[in-house]
Amino acid sequence: MNQADLKEYLDFKAEQYECFDFLEQDPISIPHRFIKKEDIEIAAFLIATIAWGNRQSILKSGNRLMDLFDNEPYHFIMNYQGSKSIPFVHRTFNSIDLDFFCRSLKNLYENHNGLEGAFNINPEDNHLKARISNFRSVFLDIPHESRSEKHISNPIKNSACKRIVMFLRWMVRSNEKGVDFGLWHHISKSELYIPLDVHTGNVARSLGILKRKQNDWKTNEELIKKLRKMDKLDPAKYDFALFGIGVNKEL
């Protein structure tokens, strides 16, 4: 396909797959249970954090986590006193990690204007790499075991940061189609990247959008540069196209 045909194809697929019915069994369905901004963003952040493995496993763990929070994540976090014995494990994320995440989230809401504020500590740093790096520094600023650091990816070390990038898409993009939430207004949707993993990377390579073989931050940069040529205001919408094409094995 030439560039014009590729844009037309991806625009069509983005429109086709950005619908809640398609994502009903997706982890994003869990934060959609909530109404309060803080409940949504805390649930979304934690669900995104454990979003690796098959979707049914993620949903099962996400549901269990919300049950542990009595389905009031913000109230739970703000009243959290610390415990390393919370009965929760999802793959390598365990009770030690969850204790740290709860304590750190409480610190963010008490001292840094919450999750949104922590991604906007230096407003002049309006590049996603800087935002994630700044957030990571603040999130890790309270006592924790080194094992927990792996659950907050670092773009400075060339990680693709798939789960954080996905969380930011959920928070920033408009809720017009009932999928993303559009809760945050200090980050422009034009800044967003694609949550890059094996599947989206392979689809992008099959379409000739990507050349790099690794799935890392440099590949994020290559991919978003190409997608911004198709839509400079909302390039992350193409996540739905790449994801949908991959899930339905259309290539």
The per-residue pLDDT string of the chain (251 residues; one tens digit each, 9 = 90 and over) reads 899 999 999 999 999 999 988 777 899 999 999 999 999 999 999 999 999 888 899 999 999 999 999 999 999 999 999 887 889 999 999 999 999 999 999 999 999 999 999 999 987 777 999 999 999 999 999 999 999 999 999 999 999 999 999 999 999 999 999 999 999 999 999 999 999 999 999 999 999 999 999 999 999 999 999 999 999 999 999 999 999 999 888 87
Tokens in use for 22? Answer: 């398609």
DSSP class of residue 234 equals: -
d(CA 44, CA 30): 8
Each domain of the chain, given as residue ranges in start order, spans: 3-247
d(CA 22, CA 179): 10
Tokens in use for 169? Answer: 């898409």
The per-residue DSSP string of 158-172 comes to: T---HHHHHHHHHHH
Predicted pLDDT at 20 = 83
Predicted pLDDT at 147 = 96
Predicted pLDDT at 25 = 83
Cβ proximity of 48 and 166 under 8 Å:
yes
Predicted pLDDT at 251 = 79
- Closest by CA position to 22, among listed 177, 167, 173: 177
User: Tokens 């993993």 sit at which residue?
Assistant: 197
The residue type found at 117 is: G
Predicted pLDDT at 123 = 77
Cβ proximity of 80 and 106 under 8 Å:
yes
Look up the pTM and report it.
Answer: 0.96
Q: 87 Cβ partners below 8 Å, 6+ apart?
A: 68, 95
SS3 category, 45: helix
User: Tokens 């454990």 sit at which residue?
Assistant: 50
Predicted pLDDT at 57 = 94
Predicted pLDDT at 85 = 80
Cβ proximity of 42 and 77 under 8 Å:
yes
Tokens in use for 20? Answer: 């809640």
